[in-house]
Every structure is written in structure tokens, then in C-alpha cells.
Structure 1
Amino acid sequence: MNETKSELNSGGEQHLNGVYGGWELLIAGVVLVVVALLDVAYLQLYLSGREPVYVLSAVMISALGGFILWLPFARRRIEAAGETRFSNFLALPDNEVPITFPVVSAFLGEQALGGFLGSVLMLTTHGVFSNFGAAIAGIYCFALIVLAITITSFSLLRFVVLFARYGWATYGVIAVSSLIVMFGFFWAGVRSVS
């Protein structure tokens, strides 16, 4: 029987394997320290100036830290569910899939969606901040940023996988240029409304 979630020790007792390995523990410790220091700094700034924008920043940073700490757990869950389910969800292309105009335009459209979400974030955050308060606005900003980054990153992954069959030089050029396109669309979306 494959013991992925728990293993038996010599006494026959079961205990859970940790979600975090050595590197994950180090990263989690760094993230916790950085988030704690930023939260203390934002608290001090809030108490000295009573500006609610510091609450928004603290909530957003704390949510981002929690998200980073959640990623190893999510990775283990994806591995446990099977790599094929995740690959099927992303519709990762095979080596035989030709690089056609619809493939390129789908990539550019998904990147434009990420840029649009950046525009939506910039346009609507002030309204959410005014109507619902700093804490809700911080959660809202975090959710939109994570959605935009997830969409654009998965799109980038799907596009770059097409070029894995070519040499490292071609793959590297496509990966770097696609990354530049991803950040360019997001930057353009944010700059268009700021």
C-alpha cells in the first residue's frame, strides 16, 4: 500500500508527513518574519497618522503571506490528486500540437485579460475602499491580483510548453519574450487608468 499521507513507524503508529520540507520551512519562516515586520510597520504608521490606507496594505500583505504559506499544501494536494487532472484542467499541449495563429492569439487574449483585471483593480479599489472600508478593500485587492497573476501565469505556462520540443536557445527566447509580454500587458492595463 502506498503511504503518501502517512507512514507507519516501527511501533505500528501512524503519523502525518509534514507538508513542509526543509526549503519550505525556511521560506515559511522568512515569509512569516517579513509579514510580521510589515504588519508592525503598518500598525505603527496607522497609529501615528490614522490613515486607513495602512490597514488596506497590512491586510493585503497578510493575505499574500497566507497565500504563500498555503502554496506547499496546494502543491501536495495537486500531486495527490494526480498530475493528469491538473494537466487536463490546464489543457497542456502535446509535442505534436502545431503552433498556429489560434494558439498565439489565445495566449495574447489571456494576457490581455490579466491586463484588464489590473485595470479593473485600479478603477474599482477606491470605490470598494470608500464603501466597505480598508480591510475589505485589502482582501479585494489581494483576490484580484491573485486571479490576474494565476490567469497570466497559467497562460504563460501553456504557451511556453509548446516550445519545449525545440532547442534550449529557442525555448529560452520564447520563454523570456512571453514573460515580457505578460508583464507588458499587466503594466499597460494598470498604467491606462492610473
Structure 2
Amino acid sequence: MGALTPDTSTQAGLSRSGLYREASAGRWERIARGIYLPVGAAAADWDQVEAATRRPEATICLLSALAHHDLVDAVPAALDIAIPRGVRTPVSTGAISWHRFDRATFDVGREDIAIAGSDQAIGIYSSERSIVDAFRLRAEVGYEVARDALREWLRRGGKPARLIAIATRLPRAKSTVLNALEMLA
């Protein structure tokens, strides 16, 4: 069984107050404000569980996605999560950095992955989309991070045509990615 909130407690056959009683009795563990997991549940990344529970469209992006794809050596201080512009940014207790991405391009390069130790899934951007986003938002993540991720991706056999196809669909990306490809070639 996955994470429960007071609003979804009926999935486990509990009322809202029943969930609180079960948590007080030690059968459910509170992992974040309003989010509970069964005691003895497999180890999981609580930040990913919290993000996926608070926003079903939550997508791992930027430095966190680059680290997931093993394209950078940096360990992000917080989980970078993209949500569509116009939705409320949830209040979270975990180390989550929320980013707002344009609704029109939100699903470009997005796929779902299972959260290890959980029956939940969370979105993640492909390595190509993550590299393009790193160049687009280089003031936020650093140009060196974007360049190093691109270099590693190319070293592993990445196809520049796939990168350009993604960059063409995103604003302010194509020329920057083309310049970086030219410099590395």
C-alpha cells in the first residue's frame, strides 16, 4: 500500500480520524505533514513520495534528473521537482525545490518511473530534456553543469539530433544547445 493522506484514507478503509488513531497506535508512520506510510513499509525516498503525493504531475527535473541519469557527479541539496505553471506550489516539509514549467511544453521528454520501495510513480525528464533544461536555465544550475552533462551524454553515445529535436520544442534553447555542441565537437 502506498502513502495515504487524510483525504485518501478511505482507500485503506479508514476514516480521517481512523487514520490519526492508527498513526497514534503506531501502525502508520507520518513521513511529512499530512502524509502517512504503513509501519514496516519498504525503504523509499520520502521526498519523492511526498512530491508525488502532493502533486500527481510532479516531475524530477534539472540537477536531480541529471544526477538520476548519472550525467553529473553533483549531489543535489534538494530534490528538483517541476510542476506546471498555474498550479499551486504545495507546502512541503522535505528537501524539495519546486520549479514551474510552461504547460505547453511540460510533457516534452517526460516519462514515469517507479519510486523504489513504493507502489507509487513519479515523472522524470529524459536525459536529453534535462540537458536542454540545464542550458535553458543555466543561470540557476550553472553553465558548467550543463556543459559537463552534455559532454558525458555525448561520451556515452548520445545522438545530437535527439537533443536538437527537444531543444527546438522548448523556448530559448536551440541556439544555446547548438553553440555548446559546436564547441564540444
| Short-chain TM bin | under 0.3
> Higher helix fraction: Structure 1 or Structure 2?
1
Bigger Rg over Cα: 1
| TM-score, normalization by structure 1 | 0.22
> Higher strand fraction: Structure 1 or Structure 2?
2
> Higher relative contact order at CA 8 Å, sep ≥6: structure 1 or structure 2?
1
| TM-score, normalization by structure 2 | 0.22
